[in-house]
Amino acid sequence: MTDLTELERDILARIEAATDEAALESVRLFALGKKGVVSERLKSLGGMSPDERKTMGPQINGLRDAVQGAIAARKVTLEEAALAQRLSAERVDVTLPVRESAEQRGRIHPLSQVFDELVAIFADMGFSIADGPDVETDYYNFTALNFPEGHPAREMHDTFFLREDAQGLRKVLRTHTSPVQIRTMEAVKPPIRMIIPGRTYRHDSDQTHTPMFHQVEGLVIDEGATMANLKWVLEEFCKAFFEIDDVKMRFRPSFFPFTEPSAEVDIQCDRSGGEIRFGQGTDWLEILGCGMVHPNVLRNCGLDPDVYQGFAWGMGIDRIAMLKYGIPDLRDMFEADKRWIEHYGFRPLDLPTLAGGLSS
């Protein structure tokens, strides 16, 4: 009895003294190995009398269980200590910078962003998007749009001409997106609801004019579209685009050869604080030209102006982008200055949606 108690104390002390897994393993072998002291005792049970075995059996088995338990517990303790030690040794400086990811660095040009905003708004109103060529014939750019040959209205457009061909004909760089109105009406039967965003060119260069710029044209043709509808479309567009609840617009009669009646549209704003706020203030800012499609234009496209009618408008994409996002100089749009694009550009995943809001 005493012998076993002594033995248990000795083994447990050895277990406690083991400071690593190897030492613990040698204690295990000393006690529970094939020839271990506890194993020997267990073997001795076989030679005992039944009575003796009855007494000693539980004692020796109890000794074995205690040793096994102590070894397991010690093992856990040692493992925990080892892990703690490893963890304390394994340190990095998490303040070291990581590389900026590609999605963080990339930028969408404000013109593309505004283009996508236009599409989101007008697609919702049932408008599709039409494209046309930048190099146009005189017919599509002027004649079909009711600019008579030699008329001073042609001079309002500082036109870029290409070299004359063998027949003495010269093409032009389209001075507006309106030629696509004609191409559309020639190709599609009314009802028509289109916007035509695109690149346009005029021989002009200063702080507010660049020889290349972008316009978006709108065209609605059916059997009942009126200026009242035109006003509604433009008001709804301005509210949605500038992301304001209310907008005041002023329609001034004007002249465009391809519309009759024609109007220029100003939008009310406040420019007092160095930035423009729409829907308030006392300033008027011209943002677009519009009107009812001229009967001659409808006729040129084979449509009877007593049956079909509609309206069109055109505005500068660059201009509305500058107004909305406070971009000061048009010329910077085409400079491709890294600092400018990073500042005024948009992140690749900032896709404008009506559900989520156009911006932010």
Q: Which of 53, 109, 239, 277 binds other proteins (CB under 8 A)?
A: 109
**Binding range to other proteins, per CB under 8 A, among 7-15, 24-32, 69-77, 160-168:** 160-168
Nearer to other proteins, 75 or 231 (CB): 231
Q: List binders of other proteins among 47-106 (CB under 8 A).
A: 96-106
Nearer to other proteins, 74 or 174 (CB): 174
Shortest spacing between CB 9 and other proteins, in angstroms: 53
Q: List binders of other proteins among 5-44 (CB under 8 A).
A: none
CA distance 323 to 67: 83
Shortest spacing between CB 281 and other proteins, in angstroms: 18
Nearer to other proteins, 149 or 275 (CB): 149
Query: DSSP states of 213-241 as a string?
Result: EEEEEEEEEESS--HHHHHHHHHHHHHHH
How large is the C-alpha radius of gyration of the chain? Answer: 43
CA distance 283 to 262: 22
Q: CB of 252 within 8 A of CB of 288?
A: no
Nearer to other proteins, 63 or 130 (CB): 130
CA distance 110 to 34: 81
User: What are the structure tokens assigned to 121, written together?
Assistant: 């708004």
Nearer to other proteins, 64 or 157 (CB): 157
Closest listed residue to residue 116, CA positions, set 357, 355, 360, 351? 351
**Binding range to other proteins, per CB under 8 A, among 10-18, 31-39, 49-57, 288-296:** 288-296
Q: List binders of other proteins among 138-157 (CB under 8 A).
A: 148-153, 155-156
Total residues contacting other proteins by CB under 8 A comes to 96
Nearer to other proteins, 36 or 291 (CB): 291
What are 360's strand-pairing partners?
A: none
**Binding range to other proteins, per CB under 8 A, among 22-30, 59-67, 78-86, 117-125:** 117-125
User: What are the structure tokens assigned to 278, written together?
Assistant: 């729409």
Q: Which of 160, 277, 283, 359 binds other proteins (CB under 8 A)?
A: 160
CA distance 47 to 61: 15
Q: Which of 163, 273, 307, 328 binds other proteins (CB under 8 A)?
A: 163
Q: Tell me if residue 266 falls in helix, strand or coil.
A: strand
Q: CB of 176 within 8 A of CB of 292?
A: no
Q: Which of 9, 170, 271, 331 binds other proteins (CB under 8 A)?
A: 170
Site track for other proteins across 219-258, x = CB under 8 A = -x----xxxxx-xxx-x--------------xxxxxx---
Phi, psi of 253 (to 5 degrees): -60, 140
Residue tagged 């008027």 (tokens)? 284
Q: Which of 39, 128, 280, 359 binds other proteins (CB under 8 A)?
A: 128
CA distance 119 to 117: 5
Q: Is 188 in the site for other proteins (CB under 8 A)?
A: no
* Residue 21 annotated as part of some ligand binding site: no
CA distance 71 to 69: 5
User: What are the structure tokens assigned to 357, written together?
Assistant: 């809001």
Q: Which residues of 6-19 are buried (b: 16+ CB within 10 A; e: fewer)?
A: ebbeebbebbeebe
Q: Is 328 in the site for other proteins (CB under 8 A)?
A: no
Q: Which of 9, 43, 203, 271 binds other proteins (CB under 8 A)?
A: 203
Binding positions for Mg(2+) are 260
